[in-house]
């Protein structure tokens, strides 16, 4: 028996769809036949929506009420969400004693509270249709820690906890929930933190790439967004229907030691 790999007839909502992973996942899902709804706080998301023939909702997930509105709008305009990809994220590098309270709380809102809210609002429709896929973009930093990333590491660990808990609650309704844990990848998010890491650690930018980002890895290169998109497609497919509550590393061996 061969299992369905097409996403025809499915609606996928992708947060942070204007960024590196979001764009790759949107293209891969659209190629597989899904109708894609992109949301992002930046207009770059609109360009991606146009590229994949989908729709765009401008929304800042740092605000709880805006996040609720986004859920309502996506569900009403599309008649439901079958695949939710909680992908929006950002980095802030600072020693814990210098980390601004508001920035810490903002990162946790965007990368943990908003995924909870989106999950909460899409689940009733998924239950009615007895089918759903929730894919949370966590990180190697959802599994292990690095210094100067207290908010990011806490949010990404929390997201793995949310993944496991909701997987247990939703398994009997045909809904799977999984976390993807990428290593350092070739996207604007990684490129943007090189200078910050160099300053905070007191090392050169080339040392950040060679020693901090690549040295722990078995394969000495950044992960490409289309590799993340392939895994996101697999997790949305019928072939992955027994995978739930998993935190899957795609990190060039970064967390193997």
Ligand X SMILES: NC(=O)c1ccc[n+]([C@@H]2O[C@H](COP(=O)([O-])OP(=O)(O)OC[C@H]3O[C@@H](n4cnc5c(N)ncnc54)[C@H](O)[C@@H]3O)[C@@H](O)[C@H]2O)c1
Q: List the one residue from 13, 25, 38, 41 that touches ligand X (CB under 6 A).
A: 41
Q: List the one residue from 4, 5, 31, 42 that touches ligand X (CB under 6 A).
A: 42
Query: Segment near ligand X (CB under 6 A), from 5-13, 18-26, 75-83, 202-210?
Result: 18-26
In the bound state with ligand X, the residue whose beta carbon lies nearer, of 34 and 56, is 56
Which residues does 31 contact at the CB level (< 8 Å), separation at least 6?
Answer: none
In whole angstroms, the minimum distance from the beta carbon of 52 to ligand X comes to 15
Long-range residue pairs from 166-173, CB within 8 A, at least 24 positions apart, any chain: 166/119, 166/123, 166/134, 167/244, 167/245, 167/246, 168/245, 170/123, 170/126, 170/127, 170/132, 170/134, 170/244, 171/244, 171/245, 173/126, 173/127, 173/130, 173/132
Q: List the one residue from 7, 13, 14, 16 that touches ligand X (CB under 6 A).
A: 16
Cα separation of 123 and 24, whole Å? Answer: 25
Residues 128-167: x where in contact with ligand X by CB under 6 A, - otherwise, as a string: ---------x-x----------------------------
Looking at 29, 152, 184, 234, which residue is catalytic?
152
The CB-nearest residue to ligand X is 19
**Residues 53 to 112: which contact ligand X by CB under 6 A?**
60-62, 87-90, 110-111
Q: List the one residue from 115, 132, 182, 216 that touches ligand X (CB under 6 A).
A: 182
Q: Is residue 121 among the annotated active site residues?
A: no
Query: Segment near ligand X (CB under 6 A), from 1-9, 41-49, 75-83, 198-206?
Result: 41-49
In the bound state with ligand X, the residue whose beta carbon lies nearer, of 34 and 85, is 85
- Please give the radius of gyration of the chain, using alpha carbons only, rounded to the nearest integer: 18
Size of the site for ligand X (CB under 6 A): 28
Q: List the one residue from 11, 14, 19, 150 that touches ligand X (CB under 6 A).
A: 19
Q: List the one residue from 154, 185, 197, 249 that touches ligand X (CB under 6 A).
A: 185
**Residues 207 to 246: which contact ligand X by CB under 6 A?**
none
In whole angstroms, the minimum distance from the beta carbon of 110 to ligand X comes to 5
Give the residue numbers annotated as catalytic, written as ranges: 152
Task: Enumerate binding residues for ligand X (CB under 6 A).
Answer: 16, 18-22, 40-42, 44, 60-62, 87-90, 110-111, 137, 139, 182, 184-185, 187-190
């Amino acid at each position: 028996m061969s299992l369905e790999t097409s996403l025809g007839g499915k609606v996928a909502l992708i947060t942070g769809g204007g960024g590196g992973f979001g764009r790759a996942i949107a293209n891969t899902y659209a190629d597989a036949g899904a109708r894609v709804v992109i949301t992002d706080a930046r207009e770059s998301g609109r360009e991606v929506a146009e590229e994949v023939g989908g729709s765009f909702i401008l929304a800042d997930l740092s605000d709880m009420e805006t996040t609720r509105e986004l859920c309502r709008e996506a569900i009403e305009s599309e008649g439901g969400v079958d695949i939710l990809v909680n992908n929006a994220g950002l980095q802030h590098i600072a020693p814990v004693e210098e980390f601004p309270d508001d920035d810490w709380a903002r990162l946790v809102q965007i990368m943990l509270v908003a995924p909870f809210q989106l999950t909460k609002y899409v689940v009733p429709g998924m239950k009615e249709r007895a089918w759903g896929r929730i894919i949370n973009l966590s990180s190697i930093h959802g599994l292990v820690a690095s210094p100067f990333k207290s908010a990011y590491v806490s949010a990404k660990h929390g997201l793995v906890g949310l993944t496991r808990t909701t997987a247990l609650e939703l398994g009997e309704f045909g809904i799977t929930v999984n976390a993807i844990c990428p290593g350092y990848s070739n996207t604007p998010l990684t490129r943007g933190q090189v200078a910050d890491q160099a300053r905070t650690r007191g090392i050169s930018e080339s040392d950040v790439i060679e020693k901090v980002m690549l040295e722990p890895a078995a394969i000495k290169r950044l992960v490409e967004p289309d590799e993340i998109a392939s895994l996101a497609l697999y997790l949305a497919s019928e072939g992955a229907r027994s995978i739930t509550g998993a935190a899957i590393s795609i990190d060039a061996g970064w967390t193997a030691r």
